[in-house]
Amino acid sequence: MKSKSEVVVVGYAAIDEIFDSPNQVEPRLALGGGLCYCSICLASLGFSPVAVTKIGDDFPTEYLKVMKDLADIDLSIFKSRLTQTTRFRIIREGDGRELYLLRRSDNLELEDLENHLFSSTGKRP
């Protein structure tokens, strides 16, 4: 049987605070971030996504489960008490929306990619 092709996805997993109507007092929270949606899409197309990100202890356990179930990715290995998860506020109005960056996790560095990708194989390309 042919193995799945691996695709490395680098970016931020995020928590989205979504306001769907002007009368809404508390935001609806949702899994967000390009890394998550790219990984889920790649998995649905038969690829094996390999994620590199940074998330904080505030990243909900239920979102970790979603990523494991839909993309077979264990994001818990990226959890750190030293950073907070990237968070966006999305205000939906009619057909449009406004997007605000509330906070960003620590910078992703080349060494993050190297540490994650090469720690499992012990090899460098």
Please tell me the pTM assigned to this model. 0.85
Give me the percent of the chain exceeding a pLDDT of 90. Answer: 69
pLDDT at 25 (0 to 100): 94
pLDDT at 113 (0 to 100): 83
Q: Is 125 a residue whose pLDDT tops 50?
A: no
- Provide the CATH number for the domain around residue 49: 3.40.1190.20
Query: Over the range 91-106, which residues count as b (16 or more CB within 10 Å of their CB) and which as e?
Result: beeeeeeeeeeeeebe
Domain assignment present for 82: yes
List, for residues 29-85, the tens digit of each pLDDT value.
999 999 999 999 999 999 999 899 999 999 999 999 999 999 999 998 899 899 999
**8 Å CB contact between 39 and 49:** yes
Q: Is 124 a residue whose pLDDT tops 60?
A: no
- What's the domain range around 94? 6-107
From CA 8, how far away is CA 96, in angstroms rounded?
Answer: 31
Domain assignment present for 47: yes
Count of domains for the chain: 1
Domain assignment present for 58: yes
Q: Which residues contact 70 (CB under 8 A, 6 or more apart)?
A: 40, 43, 44
Question: Per DSSP, what are the bridge partners of residue 2?
Answer: none
Domain assignment present for 76: yes
List, for residues 54-67, the tens digit of each pLDDT value.
999 999 999 999 99
Q: Which residues contact 76 (CB under 8 A, 6 or more apart)?
A: 64
Strands (E), the chain: 6-10, 14-19, 28-32, 48-52, 55-56, 79-80, 86-93, 96-103
